[in-house]
Structure 1
């Protein structure tokens, strides 16, 4: 779904987004802090780092209506829930195992886009999506542990998928009214407030963490959060399903990083699954790029 002309390629920004977000699971695995604290400080630091840019675009706050603020609140709430649930799931299972549930994100997004915005897709897009999802499931299945903790981790991961799709679907509408910088800052700040209230209500300690943990909080606020800013910008030109589809590349990147940095191991079908994901995502994004070019050409009358 496109709302304006855009001749630049969406592929390179999405590749950068995938690489950046792939580090998120690694940072969470390195941390011993509670999932809600990781999420809270990620959003607090991200909001603070964005202040100089937001100041430049401060006049755009006048464009935000009371209804828009309501949408922004729910978007921030969904993002906060996504982080708490997904970080919590990573405390219970391996990076590879979590990909089985994460692979459902494009399907959930596709259903949400259909029922909320009457979006349609092509058979070719569904086929490439299916290839990538099968590949992601192959990665996760190779390391699935059928234990109570792993099952709880799977449930948390699935709920995090629903939450992040809600966040993306709301953003799909709001970023057409204000810049992605203002949208990202508002959502990050609201998520930080929600998570702070949650931690206060559950008596989770705000301080007392070693220097290593504060370093991880800052890393989470910079490297993987860049992906969210890029994706919010891209929502001007593509729909939430396309963003969700590209995020299927995250399990590949995260699993490779887990092998290098966490000493997790891969089997042959996980490697094959990774290749399928990359192929499916590549062909899907190329189809989306072609649609952007065609629509831009039609609008320009050339």
Structure 2
């Protein structure tokens, strides 16, 4: 979910003016982006299923590295233009953002080995809460009462999810660890988003930004499976097909579509749209794996998403889109 406030657009202005696309086109691409991102957990679970249903850290890092490597390779043609588009400061910022992106995927993909798709995708989608909290602590941005209320509601929902996952844990699962990794992924991606927003506000365009970020993240992750005694060979052929799909759909199509939508819609509306990701991912989890979350998990997910929505809208009301 690489959201960056590259421009300061309001919701769509008159279509066809200033190069603006039509409303239906932006909404369609935003929906496609959310659906594409929602498939990420499914490809991970299908890949893990080929290996017996769970993976060690080396396997997790193989999937994270492959996802980003596929996207980086498809963007590699942009490198020859980057020296003319990025200052050293912008390049360093985008590279550091890539480090946070690599850590995010290592944590979040690992969470899917230990907890349900519904819990993992709901908790990792709490990112706007942590962006607001970090902005308050590190940047001095003001938090509205509504934003604080939304945070409190979301944290309560997170407690329900944790309780429900513990009660319905199956043999071999570690829901507390999985939920913790999903939350860790949300915290880390918050740093990625804040840094990405800053770099793009300083003038670096979307294409050079994602090219640098995806490439750095891939390069950081690629050697780690070997260092942990694993590698990239010896998996079933279908496993590599799932790796390719991870890079093409949730990463390149999904994240890039969301970033593109931010050029024409405010970050508030894009953030709210992304709250549909856990709903779509859970629906796909039911269709593909017949995975039915427990009542507490479903209720907790609803409470979390409600809290995030309240917090996002509260930030918009008091600080405009700069708080997102």
User: Which residue among 200, 204, 222 is the counterpart of 1:178?
Assistant: 204
**Which whole-Å CA distance do the structure 2 matches of 1:115 and 1:212 have between them?**
45
Instruction: Name 2:215's counterpart in structure 1.
Output: 189
User: Which residue among 85, 95, 101 is the counterpart of 2:107?
Assistant: 85
User: Which residue among 272, 279, 297 is the counterpart of 1:252?
Assistant: 279
**Which whole-Å CA distance do the structure 1 matches of 2:27 and 2:304 have between them?**
15
Residues 161-192 of structure 1 deviation map (CA, whole Å, 9 limit, x = unaligned): 22111111111111231221111111000011
User: Which residue among 135, 142, 145 is the counterpart of 1:113?
Assistant: 135
TM-aligned CA distance change 1:287 to 1:2, over 3 Å: farther
Matches within 5 A, 1:121-200: 122-124=144-146, 141-144=163-166, 149-176=174-201, 177-200=203-226
Alignment partner of 1:22 is 2:38: yes
Residue 78 of structure 1 deviates from its aligned partner by: 0.7
Residues 33-89 of structure 1 deviation map (CA, whole Å, 9 limit, x = unaligned): 71111111111111122245x36xx54532322222221221111111111111111
TM-aligned CA distance change 1:107 to 1:178, over 3 Å: same
TM-aligned CA distance change 1:94 to 1:273, over 3 Å: closer
**Which whole-Å CA distance do the structure 1 matches of 2:297 and 2:177 have between them?**
23
Tell me how many residue pairs correspond in the alignment.
290
TM-score normalised by L of structure 2: 0.73
User: Which residue among 96, 102, 108 is the counterpart of 2:124?
Assistant: 102
TM-score normalised by L of structure 1: 0.78
Alignment partner of 1:4 is 2:8: yes
**Which whole-Å CA distance do the structure 2 matches of 1:47 and 1:132 have between them?**
34
SS in 2 for 1:98: helix
**Which whole-Å CA distance do the structure 1 matches of 2:191 and 2:199 have between them?**
13
SS in 1 for 2:284: helix
TM-aligned CA distance change 1:115 to 1:245, over 3 Å: farther
Matches within 5 A, 1:65-84: 65-84=87-106
* Bigger shift: residues 38-47 or 122-131: 122-131
Alignment partner of 1:31 is 2:58: no
Instruction: Name 1:300's counterpart in structure 2.
Output: none
Instruction: Name 1:299's counterpart in structure 2.
Output: none
Q: Runs of 5+ in structure 1 lacking a partner?
A: 296-302
